[in-house]
A and B are shown apart, each in its own frame.
Chain A
Amino acid sequence: MATTTDVRGEPATLNNDEILRYSRHLIMPEVGMEGQQKLKAARVLCIGAGGLGSPLALYLAAAGVGTLGMVDFDVVDYTNLQRQIIHTTADVGRKKLESAGDKLKAINPFLNLRKFETKLTSENALELFRQFDIVADGTDNFATRYLVNDACVLTGKPNVYGSIFRFEGQASVFATKEGPCYRCLYPEPPPPGLVPSCAEGGVLGILPGLVGVMQATEVIKLILGKGEPLIGRLLLIDALGMKFRELKLRKNPDCPACGTHPTVTKLIDYNEFCGIRGEEKPVESSVSEIQVEELKRRLDAGEPLFVLDVREPHEYQICNIGGHLIPLGDLPKRVHELDSSREIVAHCRSGVRSAKAVAFLRQAGFRKVHNLAGGILAWADRVDPKMPKY
């Protein structure tokens, strides 16, 4: 059975330009004039204008969703361009909402775009969600994901969910009246650092495209009340194998958010819930540091320094200064490869991981170990400007 989402707002009528624009929708029985008017009357809130938010917003705007809200407070970064297709090279440094807004209005000038340049918080989420009919979650962290879920349950708005990791994605529709919510599936987040996190992050650029377009499809189906929405189903997407699997999700009667006796009756501190403590300086003060200029000078002078690179092998391929590679996580079991009588300089990308490596080696009895301050990034900035940064 298809589920219709209550789309409020005044009945929308289409002018002649709009009728021409949406003609390929209007001649489909599943959309037609009635469906297109529903799309125009609909108000969709998109959380994030990044990887998932890009295709999601572009397609919703093109399809004729009348009101699109976007929440983001970030600035376009050069490394976003590999997957966040709403932004272009010329947009680097601009606010994501400004950049996205330009493209969306260019695609569809009839769009009523509402930009919320703010971080989504427990203080503003409920007020914000109440102004929309459907929420599409394009966030990339657990704290915001639980916040979006709980706020959707509390305000009764469907949560069109997508999530990506390297070349794997998940999609579903949560928090409808009859269906499960994200907490029915995962009552608690993983503690930071354990399991689903991965030493090798990153994401295949097309993956947010695949998953974001699936989210857009689900949003449109909910508005039209057509088809079989992904309610109670978790779609698993494996882009490498190009395999799609589907798992059944059940509404958990004991769910803390949407169960029969909910304990989540208001929004909480989601950073705390996800075990994220405030600003933490992982670099320990007791770690001996060496500056890149000094390392360069001493290496050029032929001093027998042993350079230890604690990054991952694929990072080593991007750039290296010829160090001996032992990824941080392998250090405990490969520590025997190191000679404790030699002077060792450990480095990573920015100096955070290598500080930990130095602390570990000191604990293991190494006396002459230093951390390269600022890592290979500082080397690229101050010693070898030809070296690529990542």
Chain B
Amino acid sequence: MAKIHIPTPLRQYADKHATVEVNAGTVGEALTGLVSKHPDLRRHLYTDEGKLRAFVNVYLNDEDIRYLQKEGTALKDNDSISIVPSIAGGSQDIDEVANLRIVELNSALPTCCCPACCC
């Protein structure tokens, strides 16, 4: 079992969990297991093409997987995986934060909202 540390900003997409345990052979499989358990995380970690996003760093124990075998890096028992996104915050205006919410809403909107194709 490997333990995946979920950073604070992403916990809202992982049922508020700080860590998630997964059975996997590689870092890539562990992350796939994570997003299948918590599908809302997918678009935050992966691009539409299925590649890990550039501003999301993944560490195996204390080492950046970019300097190991990337997502193919093999896992041992009790390994710990950390997702380390860039963070900025503290003084943000509440309405700026609200605007971020709006961007999320926009991406959640279906392309067509008519009852004919959405119901």
* Chain A residues within 8 Å of B, Cβ to Cβ: 50-52, 80, 83, 139-142, 145, 163-168, 170, 185-190, 192-203, 207-208, 234, 236, 241, 245-250, 282, 327-329, 331-332, 348-350, 352-353, 356, 360, 363-365, 390
Most chain A beta-carbon neighbours within 10 Å: one of B7, B45, B91, B108: B91
Kindly count the residue-residue contacts between A and B in the assembled complex, taking CB atoms under 8 Å apart: 166
The answer to whether A234 touches B98, judged by C-beta atoms less than 8 angstroms apart, is no
Could you tell me how many residues of chain B have their Cβ less than 8 Å away from some Cβ of chain A?
48
Measured CA separation A165–B89 after assembly (Å): 5
- With A201-B97, A202-B89 given, name 19 new contacts (CB 8 A): A51-B90, A80-B91, A142-B86, A164-B87, A164-B89, A165-B8, A165-B90, A166-B89, A186-B86, A194-B43, A195-B56, A197-B100, A198-B100, A248-B63, A248-B64, A350-B98, A353-B102, A360-B105, A363-B113
The answer to whether A190 touches B55, judged by C-beta atoms less than 8 angstroms apart, is yes
Q: Select B90's contact among A164, A246, A365, A390, beta carbons within 8 Å.
A: A164
Nearest CB of B to A8, in Å: 32
The answer to whether B64 touches A194, judged by C-beta atoms less than 8 angstroms apart, is no
Q: Which residue of B lies closest to A351 (CB)?
A: B95
The answer to whether A190 touches B86, judged by C-beta atoms less than 8 angstroms apart, is yes
Measured CA separation A23–B49 after assembly (Å): 61
Q: Which residue of B lies closest to A274 (CB)?
A: B88
A390-B89 contact, Cβ under 8 Å, with A165-B8, A363-B109: no
Q: Which residues of A are found within 8 Å of B98, using beta-carbon distances?
A: 328, 348-350, 352-353
Q: Which residues of B are found within 8 Å of A250, using beta-carbon distances?
A: 64, 67
The answer to whether A199 touches B104, judged by C-beta atoms less than 8 angstroms apart, is yes
Q: Select B100's contact among A145, A192, A365, beta carbons within 8 Å.
A: A192
Q: Which residue of B lies closest to A193 (CB)?
A: B103
Measured CA separation A188–B47 after assembly (Å): 14
A197-B97 contact, Cβ under 8 Å, with A83-B90, A164-B89, A165-B9: yes
* Chain B residues within 8 Å of A, Cβ to Cβ: 7-10, 12, 18, 43-45, 53-57, 59, 62-64, 67, 82, 84-92, 94-105, 107-110, 113-115
Measured CA separation A348–B87 after assembly (Å): 26
The answer to whether B108 touches A332, judged by C-beta atoms less than 8 angstroms apart, is yes
A140-B91 contact, Cβ under 8 Å, with A195-B9, A248-B62: yes
Q: Which residue of A lies closest to B43 (CB)?
A: A194
Q: Which residue of B lies closest to A186 (CB)?
A: B86
The answer to whether A365 touches B102, judged by C-beta atoms less than 8 angstroms apart, is no
Measured CA separation A197–B55 after assembly (Å): 12
The answer to whether A199 touches B86, judged by C-beta atoms less than 8 angstroms apart, is no
A196-B64 contact, Cβ under 8 Å, with A349-B94, A356-B105, A363-B109: no
Q: Which residues of A are found within 8 Å of B87, using beta-carbon distances?
A: 163-165, 168, 170, 196
Measured CA separation A139–B87 after assembly (Å): 11
Q: Which residues of B are found within 8 Å of A199, using beta-carbon distances?
A: 12, 97, 100-101, 104
Chain A interface mostly helix, strand, loop or mixed?
loop
Q: Which residues of B are found within 8 Å of A50, using beta-carbon distances?
A: 90-91
Nearest CB of A to B34, in Å: 14
The answer to whether A198 touches B12, judged by C-beta atoms less than 8 angstroms apart, is yes
The answer to whether B102 touches A247, judged by C-beta atoms less than 8 angstroms apart, is no
Nearest CB of A to B64, in Å: 7
Q: Which residues of B are found within 8 Å of A203, using beta-carbon distances?
A: 89-90
Q: Which residue of A lies closest to B108 (CB)?
A: A332
A196-B86 contact, Cβ under 8 Å, with A247-B62, A363-B109, A364-B113: yes
Q: Which residues of A are found within 8 Å of B53, using beta-carbon distances?
A: 190, 195
Nearest CB of A to B91, in Å: 5
Measured CA separation A21–B44 after assembly (Å): 52
Q: Which residues of B are found within 8 Å of A331, using beta-carbon distances?
A: 105
Measured CA separation A349–B82 after assembly (Å): 35
The answer to whether B109 touches A360, judged by C-beta atoms less than 8 angstroms apart, is yes
The answer to whether B105 touches A332, judged by C-beta atoms less than 8 angstroms apart, is yes
Question: Can you name 26 A-B residue pairings with CB atoms under 8 Å?
Answer: A50-B91, A163-B88, A164-B87, A167-B8, A185-B86, A186-B57, A188-B54, A195-B55, A196-B9, A196-B86, A200-B97, A201-B96, A202-B89, A207-B90, A247-B59, A247-B82, A248-B63, A250-B67, A282-B102, A328-B102, A329-B108, A332-B109, A349-B98, A353-B102, A365-B115, A390-B94
Measured CA separation A141–B59 after assembly (Å): 24
Q: Which residues of A are found within 8 Å of B103, using beta-carbon distances?
A: 192-194
Q: Which residues of A are found within 8 Å of B94, using beta-carbon distances?
A: 201, 349, 390
The answer to whether A145 touches B101, judged by C-beta atoms less than 8 angstroms apart, is no
Q: Which residues of B are found within 8 Å of A188, using beta-carbon distances?
A: 54-55
The answer to whether B57 touches A353, judged by C-beta atoms less than 8 angstroms apart, is no
Measured CA separation A202–B95 after assembly (Å): 12
Measured CA separation A363–B8 after assembly (Å): 33
Q: Which residues of A are found within 8 Å of B115, using beta-carbon distances?
A: 365
